[in-house]
């Protein structure tokens, strides 16, 4: 009997159907303003993106956060329910608006200004909340007109993940995706002799090609906006020659500056500090050592090494135990071993490419997703848990699926052992990919800043590294000779390796418990019991066929039980946990606060050091670090001694704000650990595998 329905559950996406948000456009003299949301509702404890969407009459424009030589930026004054917290506006990159001898920065035609709004965890499902805003802005053509729009938006509070707004969801997501982000660039400026040089280096600028570049500073006093910006290219980046503004008057100079760099249609947020211009920025000498970025060859190498290390991560052990069964079975048959290895490798590569293509396409469409996104869906986690349980019951001998120990469907296994190996490779990647290895984070982050072809090369290298050990073992006669000879012991071994699969199923159940409420976990446990019944009935039918007796009734009951098991996890969406995404901290855990961009800004403004832990329940590396490193008394003492504030960004469920924060650091997955010092400097990125001494040293510095 085929198990395809179980595999299909892995790709299911559950959305809560909510009534559309209510918003009324406001038309003024030369603009139309509307308050809109990315989703049709909000979940308790989540962050919703709310935006003012404006369109301007032909020939009219509004202004950026730094309007340039003239003009005024828009302001938004919020009226929101108690406990709701709006964040900072995400400003799209501006365009130049020259008017006679002056230079302004702003938007023509229209603009979407998105703002994250934190929903309190105690928001009541079934109720609605009204968010209102007074938008004050300046629209200009040949004359300028101050304008005001009062807009409002009603959002229902729903259980589970709200659906994207059919009209505005994609537009807001695109605006957020296109908004300037750091992109791994480093900036240094030097003002001497009445000239201001700004050198910007990084992997995104490497290569020395011609560029149409322009720098828009956040500080309106940094430069003379009307003066031209000359661009010099170098092997590692570029240098802009600017005319200093009043910020440098009377011997003064800013200690740091931030702005937006546009290069050949792409935008990056750049922070620069005063200092000597680096070599390699713009024909100033050889490229500096230490690296401004990985570069494609190094990223491919690191991805391959990361794939090798991925075989050692705990989350992949259950899948590799299934391959161990295949190796022992075919150890005396070199041809069968090679077929198994090639099929397993093909499954690994195909799945890595498919996940990478989905990730690249989603980001191109403006959807904030990251590596491991498949485990941010409770339905996918529940489906994976059932697949693991089904595989474990097969290894335990409750039923058989063809002659393959690792096939997951009778229809597949009946076509040959290589089909089972192919789908084992698929399952291995889906489960193991979120266990980010030490070399994978920077390499994958680099990949998504490159072209689609370059990005796929990095992901292919990752897949080759992951599949290499098993393939090498199968194709090396010397290594195959060390394998034990097939014999009666194999049946005992097969049953023994079922227990890692049971452990994986239990782990996925725990992950689901962090994503949903108690009723959702109960649904999965009930589905597991019914699936076990289906497996037992199927095994009973197989035994009757072997004995020559009819097997119609147990087979029909097995099909019905399997359908009931799938219905339990797919019939309706899983509700969000009552406390929000994260579970309560265990006793004795390091005291922490929920992460938000606003919390980081507030704490840094107060001069406090900040330690940020980007984590997820499904990230095994994260969980190991939290139990090995963060639970140490030395670490607790270091936090107390330095006064550092510990912020936790829980990415167990999808969160666009966290995804954007990861992208701002050039990462697409967790774990990520950032340490901000008390003096306002850029954050220090810690390794993905932590020890107590690493944390203590970072806090001490």
What CATH number is associated with residue 648?
A: 3.40.30.10
The whole-number pLDDT of residue 407 equals: 37
Residue 135 three-state SS = strand
**Do 140 and 240 reside in the same domain of the chain?**
no
User: Final residue of a domain: which of 178, 197, 227?
Assistant: 178
For residue 470, give both structure tokens: 């098993």
Q: Is residue 479, in this structure, part of any structural domain at all? A: yes
Of residues 151 and 417, more confidently modeled:
151
Structural domain for 57, as ranges:
22-178
**Do 162 and 194 reside in the same domain of the chain?**
no
pLDDT digits (tens, 9 = 90+) for 142-189: 888 999 999 999 999 999 889 899 999 999 999 998 999 887 788 888
**Do 367 and 436 reside in the same domain of the chain?**
yes
Question: Rounded to 5 degrees, what are φ and ψ at 509?
Answer: -65, -40
- C-beta of residue 427 within 8 angstroms of C-beta of residue 387: yes
**Do 337 and 485 reside in the same domain of the chain?**
yes
Q: How far is CA 423 from CA 3, 351, 428, in A?
A: 12, 10, 8
The whole-number pLDDT of residue 234 equals: 75
Q: Report the range out of 366-370, 432-436, 534-538, 620-624 with the highest average pLDDT.
A: 534-538
**Do 154 and 208 reside in the same domain of the chain?**
no
Q: Total domain count for the chain?
A: 4
The whole-number pLDDT of residue 411 equals: 35
- Whose tokens are 């072997």? That residue is 546
The whole-number pLDDT of residue 157 equals: 94
Mean pLDDT lowest among 142-151, 320-329, 513-522, 665-674: 320-329
**Do 49 and 128 reside in the same domain of the chain?**
yes
pTM: 0.51
Q: Is residue 517, in this structure, part of any structural domain at all? A: no
**Do 85 and 225 reside in the same domain of the chain?**
no
Q: Is residue 328, in this structure, part of any structural domain at all? A: yes
Q: What percent of the chain has pLDDT over 70?
A: 78
**Do 204 and 225 reside in the same domain of the chain?**
yes
The whole-number pLDDT of residue 661 equals: 82
The whole-number pLDDT of residue 367 equals: 56
pLDDT digits (tens, 9 = 90+) for 566-611: 999 888 888 767 543 344 445 456 889 999 888 887 888 788 899 9
Task: Give the containing element (helix H, strand E) for 491.
Answer: helix 489-496
The whole-number pLDDT of residue 385 equals: 87
Residue 362 in this model has a pLDDT that exceeds 80: no
Q: What is the CATH number of the domain that holds 110?
A: 2.60.40.1250
Residue 92 three-state SS = coil
Q: What is the mean pLDDT of the chain?
A: 80
- C-beta of residue 403 within 8 angstroms of C-beta of residue 419: no
Of residues 33 and 359, more confidently modeled:
33
The whole-number pLDDT of residue 131 equals: 94
Question: Rounded to 5 degrees, what are φ and ψ at 63?
Answer: -120, 155
Mean pLDDT lowest among 160-174, 265-279, 292-306, 434-448: 434-448
Across 232-257, average pLDDT? 84
User: Final residue of a domain: which of 472, 494, 516?
Assistant: 494
For residue 135, give both structure tokens: 């938008």
The whole-number pLDDT of residue 602 equals: 81
Q: Is residue 553, in this structure, part of any structural domain at all? A: no
Question: Cα(2)–Cα(140) distance, rounded to whole angstroms?
Answer: 66
Q: Name which of 30, 39, 37, 71 is nearest 53 in CA terms.
A: 37
The whole-number pLDDT of residue 11 equals: 33
Mean pLDDT lowest among 235-244, 263-272, 288-297, 320-329: 288-297
| CA–CA–CA angle 599, 604, 605 (5° rounding) | 100
**Do 332 and 226 reside in the same domain of the chain?**
no
**Do 265 and 118 reside in the same domain of the chain?**
no
**Do 151 and 71 reside in the same domain of the chain?**
yes
pLDDT digits (tens, 9 = 90+) for 464-489: 988 888 888 778 777 766 666 666 77
**Do 63 and 139 reside in the same domain of the chain?**
yes
Q: What is the CATH number of the domain that holds 223?
A: 2.60.40
Mean pLDDT lowest among 58-62, 66-70, 322-326: 322-326
Confidence grade of residue 208 (pLDDT, cut at 50, 70, 90): low
pLDDT digits (tens, 9 = 90+) for 547-572: 667 678 888 898 999 999 999 988 88
The whole-number pLDDT of residue 331 equals: 53
The whole-number pLDDT of residue 691 equals: 92
Angle separating helix axes 378-395 and 417-432, nearest 10 degrees: 140
Per-residue three-class SS string for 601-639 = HHHHHCCCCEEEEEECCCCHHHHHHHHHCCCCHHHHHHH
Q: Is residue 549, in this structure, part of any structural domain at all? A: no
């Amino acid at each position: 009997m085929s198990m395809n329905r179980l595999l299909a559950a892995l790709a299911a996406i559950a959305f809560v159907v909510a009534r559309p948000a209510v918003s009324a456009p406001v038309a003024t003299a030369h603009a139309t303003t509307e308050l809109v949301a990315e989703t049709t509702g909000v979940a308790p404890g989540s962050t919703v993106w709310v935006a003012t969407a404006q369109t301007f009459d032909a020939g009219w424009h509004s202004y950026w956060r730094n309007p340039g030589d003239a003009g005024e930026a828009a302001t938004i004054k919020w009226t929101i329910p108690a406990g709701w917290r709006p964040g900072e506006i995400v400003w799209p990159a501006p365009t130049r608006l020259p008017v006679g001898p002056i230079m302004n920065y702003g938007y023509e035609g229209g603009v979407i200004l998105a703002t994250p709004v934190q929903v309190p965890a105690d928001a009541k499902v079934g109720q609605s909340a009204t968010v209102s805003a007074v938008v004050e802005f300046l629209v200009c053509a040949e004359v300028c007109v101050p304008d005001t729009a009062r807009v409002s938006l009603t959002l229902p509070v729903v259980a589970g993940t709200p659906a994207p707004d059919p009209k505005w969801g994609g537009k807001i997501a695109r605006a957020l995706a296109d908004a300037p982000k750091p992109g791994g660039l480093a900036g240094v400026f030097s003002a001497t002799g009445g000239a201001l040089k700004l050198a910007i280096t990084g992997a995104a600028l490497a290569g020395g090609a011609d560029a149409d570049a322009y720098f828009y500073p956040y500080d309106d006093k940094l430069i003379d906006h009307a003066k031209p910006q000359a661009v010099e290219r170098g092997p590692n980046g570029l240098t802009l020659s600017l005319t200093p503004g009043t910020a440098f008057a009377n011997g003064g100079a800013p200690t740091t500056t931030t702005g937006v760099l546009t290069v050949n249609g792409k935008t990056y947020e750049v922070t620069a500090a005063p200092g000597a211009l680096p070599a390699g920025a713009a024909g100033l000498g050889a490229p500096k050592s230490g690296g401004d970025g990985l570069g494609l060859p190094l990223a491919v190498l690191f991805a391959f090494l990361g794939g090798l290390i991925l075989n050692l991560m705990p989350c992949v052990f259950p899948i590799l135990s299934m391959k161990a069964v295949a190796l022992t079975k075919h150890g005396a048959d070199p041809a069968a071993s090679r077929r198994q290895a090639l099929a397993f490798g093909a499954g690994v590569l195909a799945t890595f490419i498919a996940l990478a293509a989905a990730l690249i396409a989603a980001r191109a469409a403006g959807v904030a997703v990251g590596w491991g996104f498949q485990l941010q869906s409770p339905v996918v986690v529940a489906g994976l848990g059932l697949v693991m349980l089904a595989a474990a019951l097969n290894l335990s001998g409750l039923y058989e699926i063809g002659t393959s120990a690792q096939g997951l469907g009778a229809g597949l296994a009946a076509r040959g052992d290589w089909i089972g190996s192919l789908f084992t490779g698929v399952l291995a990647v889906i489960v193991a990919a979120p266990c980010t290895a030490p070399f994978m984070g920077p390499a994958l982050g680099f990949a998504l800043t490159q072209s689609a072809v370059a990005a796929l090369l990095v992901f292919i290298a990752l897949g080759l590294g992951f599949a290499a050990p098993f393939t090498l073992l199968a194709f090396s006669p010397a290594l195959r000779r060390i394998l034990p000879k097939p014999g009666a012991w194999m049946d005992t071994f097969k049953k023994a390796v079922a227990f890692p699969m049971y452990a994986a199923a239990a782990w996925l159940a725990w992950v689901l418990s962090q994503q949903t409420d108690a009723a959702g976990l109960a649904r999965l446990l009930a589905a597991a019991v019914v699936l076990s019944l289906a497996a037992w009935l199927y095994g009973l039918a197989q035994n009757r066929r072997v004995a020559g007796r009819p097997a119609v009734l147990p087979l029909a009951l097995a099909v019905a039980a399997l359908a009931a098991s799938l219905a339990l996890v797919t019939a309706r969406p899983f509700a969000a946990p009552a406390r929000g995404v994260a579970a309560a901290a265990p006793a004795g855990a390091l005291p922490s606060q929920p992460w938000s961009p606003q919390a980081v800004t507030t704490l840094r403004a107060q001069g406090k050091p900040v330690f940020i832990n980007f984590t997820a329940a499904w990230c095994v590396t994260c969980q190991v670090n939290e139990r090995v490193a963060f639970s140490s008394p030395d670490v607790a003492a270091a936090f107390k001694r330095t006064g550092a504030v510990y912020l936790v960004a829980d990415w167990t469920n999808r969160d666009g704000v966290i995804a954007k924060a990861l992208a701002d650091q050039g990462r697409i997955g967790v774990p990520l650990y950032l340490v901000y010092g008390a003096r306002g400097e850029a954050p220090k990125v810690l390794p993905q595998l932590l020890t107590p001494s690493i944390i203590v040293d970072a806090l001490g510095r």
